[in-house]
Structure 1
Amino acid sequence: MLTNMHVAVVGGDARQLEVIRKLIELDAKLSLVGFDQLDHGFTGASKEQIQTLDFSSLDAMILPVAGTNAEGGVDTIFSNQKVVLTKEQIEQTPAHFTIFSGISNAYLDSLAASTNRKLIRLFERDDVAIYNSIPTVEGTIMMVIQHTDYTIHGSRVVVLGFGRTGMSVARTFHALGANVRVGARRSEHLARISEMVMVPFHMNDIEKEVQNADVVINTIPHQVVTASVISKMPAHTLIIDLASKPGGTDFRYAEKRGIKAFLAPGLPGIVAPKTAGQILANVLSSLLQDLRLRKETTA
């Protein structure tokens, strides 16, 4: 249980609703910031403004998957209010205060470091990333079906990256009958791709490997689908970029060439927000239990 734990849930999308439900079940005291337009009333949770939030009593703060923008702003789809996190606010929190975010950026990293507060990036955890790859794959399949006029079965699919998401994407498209080639750099990844009866290639050879691709799916958060790479693709190629913003694709050049290219880093929250939210809720509840024990130990 999370009795006597004060947690602020700040901004976010429908996934946060599952997190709120779970934490209420565990008897946490919840302050909801950026939810004033939400019709649903959560018993045991109070809607507040960021300006009136009592930071001195907070044990933790849960941010959206995207964290903040470069100025500390937080997306709040259930509110029109502007929410910005500042160093002055975080400095008011107790020493054990912890920030939870899906991913981070320079602003959030600096905020945590300058206030000496712990920042946990949930999407860097293997359990979250692996579970989250399931709705990501389903959403990718949906997009491929929507934006092509041929079946996945028999199509030539190039997957870039063989991390936790890339592995799930490649395996699923292979199971659906696609001819899958996977680009990676690490020798052990290339060996595993071959063992899984797919065709591996080194990322240095990407321009050659996309020359007959029907679909290119990128999971690498660096620009690897460059203008030079796109120039080698057939005109009908569909590009789906699953990497975090700004993605790994030169979208300007893709548009210039008339190639359909989509940046889709938040697919789980779009295609399966309930499941994606439950994944986050289960991990967060465990992490908050650990935080409660640390708080009691140091009290």
Structure 2
Amino acid sequence: MMLTGMHIAIIGGDARQLEVIRKLTELDAKLTLIGFDQLAHSFTGATKASINEVDFVDLDAIILPVHGTNVEGKVDTVFSNEPIPFTEEMLLKTPKHCTVYSGISNSYLDSLMKAVNRKHVLLFERDDVAIYNSIPTAEGTIMIVIQHTDFTIHGSRIAVLGLGRIGMTVARTFAALGAKVKVGARRSEHIARITEMGLQPFYLQDLEKEVRDIDICINTIPHLIVTASVISKMPAHTLIIDLASKPGGTDFRYAEKRGIKALLVPGLPGVVAPKTAGQIIANVLSQLLFNDLQKRKGNL
């Protein structure tokens, strides 16, 4: 599975992008790296450039960081002092087949991709990426619990909110460490699955009642669910860990007022295991790029 002949621009990012660069150069892609001027390491087949030096006419794909752009349309990078502009003018120069890849999107990126009529692939909406990423997420959550509690995970009472791709892994992992895990869900099939896993299920409509005796609340649901009313029913020592994407699903203002420690920690894979998180992205990206190349060659 080689990517010979593909010209790909990688714009900004963090340590995860290094694994992407490493993988794509191994597959013989031609890479232009933008926003990597402070990166000491060099990769054969990859050329550093400023955004003004890039020939967008020649690009087959553009890889943005996990977060894409910020709402002002700039791409953040840890390998340069300045964020990089990502504009309609640039994208309109690209060939029609040029595909943009990012982990997630926002209002700026959504409207930009619609305006230029280019394909935009959101990697973190894919089941495979989310399931692989749930592993370092669960490990990172264990790390945070240990750092912020004075009791063992074993024997502690934990409520996990949501049985999605992350919730399932987190619930199973903490149960394996000896915690007493209950899982809240809305759908009856999720309640059935929680029961099958040997965990205690409850419907989220009963959340206020279910948090009265917990030590830790782990939320994976990306809208406000851990409300002031829910927090008011928790024991004073409860630790809330919110894994949902910003702004999370917790009323952090009320938690602070009540003196309950509440932490918003999205993007744990990139924090606790950037190498593994980067390899997950790189492996999926390389397959998608290869499929794209084969389609254009008429082989698929």
Shift of 1:245: 1.1
- Corresponding residue pairs, total: 298
Structure 2 equivalent of residue 215 of structure 1: 216
Query: What's 1:189 paired with?
Result: 190
Task: Tell me how far 1:43 sits from its aligned partner.
Answer: 1.9
The answer to whether the aligner puts 1:130 opposite 2:131 as a matched pair is yes
Secondary structure (helix, strand or coil) at the match of 1:9 reads strand
In the aligned structure 2, how far is the partner of 1:51 from the partner of 1:246?
Answer: 34
Q: Which runs of 5+ in 1 are unaligned?
A: none
Who is 2:161 aligned against? 160
Q: How far does residue 235 in structure 1 lie from its aligned partner after superposition?
A: 1.3
Which residue number in structure 2 is paired with residue 277 of structure 1? 278
- Shift of residue 261 of structure 1? 1.2
Residues 226-282 of structure 1 show CA distances to partners (whole Å, capped at 9, x for unaligned) of: 111111111111111111111111112111221111111111111111111111110
State the shift of 1:104 in Å.
1.1
Identity %: 71
Alpha-carbon shift at residue 295 of structure 1 (Å)? 2.5
Alignment of 1:146-157 (within 5 A): 146-157=147-158
Give the unaligned 5+ runs of structure 2: none
- 2:227 & 2:64 partners in 1: Cα distance? 32
Deviation at residue 82 of structure 1 after TM alignment: 2.4
Alpha-carbon distance in 2 for matches of 1:61, 1:212 = 49
Equivalent-residue separation in structure 1 for 2:151 and 2:297 (angstroms): 59
Displacement after TM superposition at 1:40 (Å)? 1.0
- CA distance in 2 between partners of 1:295 and 1:165 (Å): 35
Letter of the aligned partner of 1:171 in structure 2?
Answer: R
- Aligned equivalents of 2:11, 2:259: Cα separation in 1: 39
Partner of 1:226: 227
Mapped to 1, the partners of 2:73 and 2:295 lie a distance apart of 28
Residue 76 of structure 1 and its aligned partner are, at CA, apart by 0.6
3-state SS, counterpart of residue 206 of structure 1: helix
In structure 2, what residue type is equivalent to 1:297? Answer: G
Per-residue Cα deviation, 1:42-74 (whole angstroms, up to 9, x for no partner):
121111112222111111111111111112121
1:24 is paired with a residue of what secondary structure? helix
**Shift of residue 196, structure 1, vs aligned partner:** 0.8
1:169 corresponds in structure 2 to: 170
> Following the alignment from structure 2 to structure 1, what is the Cα–Cα distance between the partners of residues 140 and 216?
14
CA distance in 1 between partners of 2:32 and 2:258 (Å): 48
Is residue 249 from structure 1 mapped to residue 250 from structure 2 by the alignment?
yes
Match of 1:111 in 2: 112
The Cα of 1:183 is off from its aligned counterpart by: 0.8
Instruction: State the distance in 1 between where 2:248 and 2:55 align.
Output: 37
Give 3-state SS (helix, strand or coil) of 2:224's partner.
coil
Deviations 1:154-190 (A, max 9, x none): 1010001100000000011111111111111011001
Alpha-carbon distance between aligned partners in 2 of 1:262 and 1:70, rounded to the nearest angstrom: 23
Give the drift of 1:296. 2.4
Question: Which moves more between the two structures, 34-43 or 92-101?
Answer: 34-43
| 1:203 equivalent in structure 2 | 204
Normalization by structure 2: what TM-score?
0.97
> Which deviates the most, 70-79 or 167-176?
70-79
Question: Secondary structure of the residue that 2:38 maps to in structure 1?
Answer: coil
Report the 3-state secondary structure (helix = DSSP H, G, I; strand = E; otherwise coil) of the residue aligned with 2:175: helix
226-235 vs 188-197, which moves further: 226-235
Per-residue CA deviations over 1:85-140 (Å, capped at 9, x if unaligned) read 11111111101110111111122121111111111110111111111100000000
Equivalence map 1:27-66=2 (5 Å) = 27-66=28-67
Instruction: State the secondary structure of the residue aligned to 1:285.
Output: helix
Which amino acid in 1 is paired with 2:132? Y
Residue in 1 that maps onto 2:287: 286
Question: 1-side partners of 2:149 and 2:129: how far apart?
Answer: 30
Shift of 1:195: 1.1
